[in-house]
Every structure is written in structure tokens, then in C-alpha cells.
Structure 1
Amino acid sequence: MKHLQISAKKREDFGKKHSSAVRREESVPVVVYGGGEETVHASLNTTDLRNLIYSPHSYIVELDIEGKKEMCVMREVQYHPVTDAPLHIDFFRVIPGKPVVIDLPVELYGNAEGVKVGGKLALAKRKLRVTALEENLPDAIRIDVSALELGKSIFVGDLNFENITFLTPATTAVCAVKMTRAARGAQAAAAAATGKKK
């Protein structure tokens, strides 16, 4: 599992007025909670956050809050409705020996059977929510699509990874090979050829 180190400043003042002041300084208010420990309020520089928020990867975040280290995962981000800038972030502590809940990116590999006959491979879910011990967390959920046929999908319920439990509903489609004009044409041609042989 990838780790990302970020420095943070502790916040002693709370409330909307103080949060607005933090944002004017090009920082984002954050809270760190969980694990039966005290909730910690801090702020992160928006530049340091880019690699965390605007990344296809998922990370165990190592927050250095003025010398105090917090291992955590990003749980929720609130965005501005117009500018889409991050307004507030919740981090949940990673406790040794206890399962971590995190959204992992999906990576597809292999040449799908359906693509070979003209279909188009479509990724429907870019990240899946899982729970596992930190030491068992992979960088990504890698899915072999080699056997995926035209018009077929792979669902979360079809996935089986050792030491990982999926929290995303089993009925959620992860990827599919969709029908295209080329595939329809190939099917029609094959059907016509079969008809002539008869």
C-alpha cells in the first residue's frame, strides 16, 4: 500500500469564521479522528494536498502535525459547489492490528475476448471500497478481463481477493465489454455467413 507524507499545522480555534481564515491562507481545515483517541484539528497546505486529492492512487497518509505523527486514511472531502476547491477533509486513524476501510483504484489487464470481436471495454467503477489489515492492502484492485465476452460485465460479487473484504455492493458493475457498430456488423456478417452455409 502506498504511503504519502504530509505536514500539517495544529488548529486551536474552530468554527466557520476561523475555517474561512484558514482557507484564505491557501490551506484546508482537516480533522483526524477514530481509534478511541482525541479528535485532532489541523490545516494542510492546498499545494501539499494535490498529490492526495487529484491522484488516481490511494494512500495511507502519514500526517506530521507539528511533530506528532498520525497514520490515517482520507475518509471524506467536502468541495466548494462552484469552484470545486476542497473545503474540509476528514481523516480516520489507522490502528495497528485493526482493519482499514479505504477506496482502492481499479486496474484492468488482459485483452478481453469481446474486444477481439469489435467490442469496447468500459470501466464503470474507478474505485472500490474495501476493508483489510493495512499489511494486506494492495496498491490497486487488479482485474484480469481476458475472458470477458461481448455484452458481459464483471461485478463486485465476481471478485475474490485473499484477505480483502469488499464493502462496495456485490451487484455493482465494475467493467463491461459494450457492443459497438463494428461488433454488430461482425455479428450480422457471421450470422449471414452461417445462413448461407445452411
Structure 2
Amino acid sequence: MKKVPLKLIPRKLGSKSELKRMRKQGYIPVEVYGKEVENRHAYVSLKDLMNLPYGETFLIEADLDGEKRVCLLKDIQRGYLGDDALHVDLYDISHTREIEVEVPLEFVGTPAGVSLGGTFEVMMHTLTIKAPVDNIPDKVSVDVSSMGLGDVLHVRDIQPPAGCIIMDSPEEVVAVVLEPEVEETPTEETAS
């Protein structure tokens, strides 16, 4: 899995004037926390935060005073309009053996039912997997080329990557190939 470096600047708690000054300079507060690690308070450049590869699965290699921590981006708190980032939470997984993480699904091939007029409809775009930290896949690929009209792909039908466990319910529907809608032709009785 891709690791993205992110430079953090140490932050003192309780200093409102420092917080205002740092926000004006384009920095927002960050909390770095996790199991068996000391919580750290820091700032991150808003520009660096916006350059993260959103839409992909990635880990953050946070550099705080030369100390590197491998983290997951846990949360970005935004303003009431949902635009301005106000605060970031990073979950330190440096000492974690296994984690649960959402991984994007990649559908490979064109379902056979689509060539017969069907419509391929995706219900789930990600899977929740449990995996060792050093074995988290970037994505889970699923071959859908054999799906015919009316076929349903469930979570149970997906082969998990080596060393990973899929945490979603096996009965959840991932994708379907819908049969084409048949237009009713008016009969003599309904036409009058």
C-alpha cells in the first residue's frame, strides 16, 4: 500500500493566539493518537492536506520532529458549510498488528448480461477488510465478466486477498446485472 509523507509541526495546547496565527499561515491542528502510543498535538499545512491522494487507499507517514509514525487519516472536521478543514485526526498504527480498513473495489471485465441489453449496477464501492498493516491491498479486483442477466454478486462470492479477511456481511449485495426493461405494447383492449 502506498505511504504518503506528511510533515507535521509540534503544537502547544491551550495557546489560542498561536492557533490563530498558524491558521492565518495556512496550518490546521492535528491530533495523532493510537493504541500503545503517546498522543501528539501538531499542525499540518492545508496545502499538503489537500494534495493527499483522496479516492485511493493510502497510509500517511507522519514526520513529527524527525519521529516517523505510520497513520491512517481517520477524520477531517470541516466548517458548518462543509468546505473549510478545521481539524484532522490521524490514527497511529505503527504498533498495530492488524487493522480494519475500507478498500476500493475494482470491477474487471464487462458482464455478459450487458451485451444482452442488461444494466450493470454497483451497490458497494468499497469492502471493509481486516489485514496485517504491512499487507493492506490498494484495491480488491473482482472479475464480473461471467455475470449474466439477473445475476447477483454477493460479498461471499469475492475471494479476499491473501492474508485478508472481509468484514462485510457475506449476504450483502455488491453488484447486479438488471434485466432490460420491456416496454408494454398496447393491445386492442388497452388502446380503446
Give me the whole-angstrom Cα distance separating, in 1, the residues matched to 2:93 and 2:156.
27
Q: Which residue of 1 aligns with 2:189?
A: none
2:48 paired residue number: 48
Q: TM-score, normalised by structure 2?
A: 0.80
CA displacement at 1:14 relative to structure 2? 4.5
Gaps of 5+ in 1: 189-198
Q: Is the 2:36–2:95 contact (alpha carbons within 8 Å) kept by the matching residues of 1? A: no
Contact 2:5 2:60 in 1 (8 A): yes
1:87-106 to 2 correspondences below 5 Å: 87-95=86-94, 98-106=97-105
The structural deviation recorded for 1:70 is: 0.9
Q: Gaps spanning 5+ residues in structure 2: where?
A: 185-192
1:25 is aligned to: 25
Asked if residue 141 in structure 1 is aligned to residue 130 in structure 2, the reply is: no
Q: Structure 1 vs Structure 2: percent identity of aligned residues?
A: 26
Provide the C-alpha distance between the structure 2 equivalents of 1:5 and 1:156, rounded to a whole number of angstroms.
Answer: 33
**TM alignment of 1:8-157, pairs within 5 A:** 8-14=8-14, 22-52=22-52, 55-95=54-94, 98-157=97-156
TM-score (norm 1): 0.78
Q: Deviations over 1:88-127 (max 9, x none)?
A: 2221122356002222111111111221212222333332
Once residues 96 and 72 of structure 1 are traced to their aligned partners in structure 2, the CA distance between those partners, rounded to angstroms, is 10
Q: Does the Cα contact within 8 Å between 2:76 and 2:86 map onto a contact in 1? A: yes
User: Aligned pair in 2 of structure 1 residues 97, 87: CA closer, same or farther (>3 Å)?
Assistant: closer
CA distance in 1, matches of 2:28, 2:127: 26
Moved more, 59-68 or 7-16: 7-16
Q: What amino acid maps onto 1:35 in structure 2? A: K
What is the distance in 2 between the residues matched to 1:177 and 1:35? 43
Distance 2:122 2:88 in 1: 27
Range with greater deviation from structure 2 (109-118 or 11-20): 11-20
Q: Is 1:184 matched with 2:181?
A: yes
Q: Structure 1 residue runs of 4+, over 4 Å off? A: 14-22
Counterparts in 2 of 1:23 and 1:131: CA distance versus 1, 3 Å: farther
CA gap 1:28/1:115 in 2 versus in 1, 3 angstroms: farther
Q: Say if 1:25 and 1:35 are closer, same or farther in 2 by CA, change over 3 A.
A: same
RMSD (CA atoms)? 2.7
Question: Which amino acid counterpart does residue 139 of structure 2 have in structure 1?
Answer: A
**What is the Cα deviation at residue 82 of structure 1?**
0.8
Q: Distance in 1 between matches of 2:152 and 2:17?
A: 49
Q: CA deviation at 1:79?
A: 2.5
**Bigger mean CA deviation after superposition, 15-24 or 141-150:** 15-24
Assess, with a 3 A threshold, how the Cα gap between structure 1 residues 156 and 88 changes in structure 2: closer, same or farther: farther
